[in-house]
Each structure stands twice: as structure tokens, then as C-alpha cells.
């Protein structure tokens, strides 16, 4: 189980690091051109905030658990990304983009797997 959680954590961290970097630096049009169409109705400052949050969460998915420093931050990061994925799926549903909704749901499930899996391992 630990190996599966680590694989999920690393894949999520890479995904959200890349996507977060794009949201924090790309123009709205470049984001839309790279199929991140959920940003079309959002203020650019909110898009930047989401991007920075995704970058920080990508570090939170791996570093606290790996370093054994405040490991509770790992399931919290996964939980926060779960919320972002729910909101992203709602946004893509309004834009009638079923493939993007499907992708958001897949990422949501992986985030929940990490959040629940790591929460059960925490020694309080």
C-alpha cells in the first residue's frame, strides 16, 4: 500500500507542479490553447492564486511525508487538491467538456486515495 501511495503522490505532485506553473505564468489565451479551458470565466488573479496553490500543494504531497516533518500536511494537501478538482469539474461541466470533467474526477479519486491512505497512517 505504501508503494501505491508513493506512486500516487509523486504523479500528483508532478501533475500539479506543471499545471500550477502554467496557471501562474501563462496568459489566459495560452492556457486556453493548452486545453486549460476552465480558466475562461475566472479572473486572472484567481487563476494565478489557484496555480500557486497547486504548486505549494505539490510540495506538500511529498516533502512532509518524506522528511517526517509535520506529515499531516501530506493528507491535507491531497484534501485541498480534492476541493480544487471538484470545483474544476463543476467549471468544465458548465462549459460542456465531458473529457475534462472525467480527468478532474480521475485526479479527484487519486487525491482522495492519498488523503485517506496517509491519514490512516498518521500517528497522533
Q: Record the pTM.
A: 0.92
Residues 87 and 16: their CA atoms lie apart, in Å, by: 15
Separation in Å, CA 92 to CA 38, 71, 73, 95, 97: 6, 32, 28, 5, 5
Asked if 55 contacts 25 with a C-beta cutoff of 8 angstroms, the reply is no
pLDDT digits (tens), the chain, 124 positions: 999 999 999 999 999 999 999 999 999 899 989 888 888 888 999 999 999 999 999 999 999 999 999 999 999 999 999 999 999 999 999 999 999 999 999 999 999 999 999 999 986 5
- Residue ranges per structural domain of the chain: 2-119
Joined together, the cell numbers standing for residue 66 give 518524506
* Backbone dihedral region for residue 123 (phi beyond 0: left; psi -120 to 50: alpha; all else: beta): beta
Amino acid at each position: 500500500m505504501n508503494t501505491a501511495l508513493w506512486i500516487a503522490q509523486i504523479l500528483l505532485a508532478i501533475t500539479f507542479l506543471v499545471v500550477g506553473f502554467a496557471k501562474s505564468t501563462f496568459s489566459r489565451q495560452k492556457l486556453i490553447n493548452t486545453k486549460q479551458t476552465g480558466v475562461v470565466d475566472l479572473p486572472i488573479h484567481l487563476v494565478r492564486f489557484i496555480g500557486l496553490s497547486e504548486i505549494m500543494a505539490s510540495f506538500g504531497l511529498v516533502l512532509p511525508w518524506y522528511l517526517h516533518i509535520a506529515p499531516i500536511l501530506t493528507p491535507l494537501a491531497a484534501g485541498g487538491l480534492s476541493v480544487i478538482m471538484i470545483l474544476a469539474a463543476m467549471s468544465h461541466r458548465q462549459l460542456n467538456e465531458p473529457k475534462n470533467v472525467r480527468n478532474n474526477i480521475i485526479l479527484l479519486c487519486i487525491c482522495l486515495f492519498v488523503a485517506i491512505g496517509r491519514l490512516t497512517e498518521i500517528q497522533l
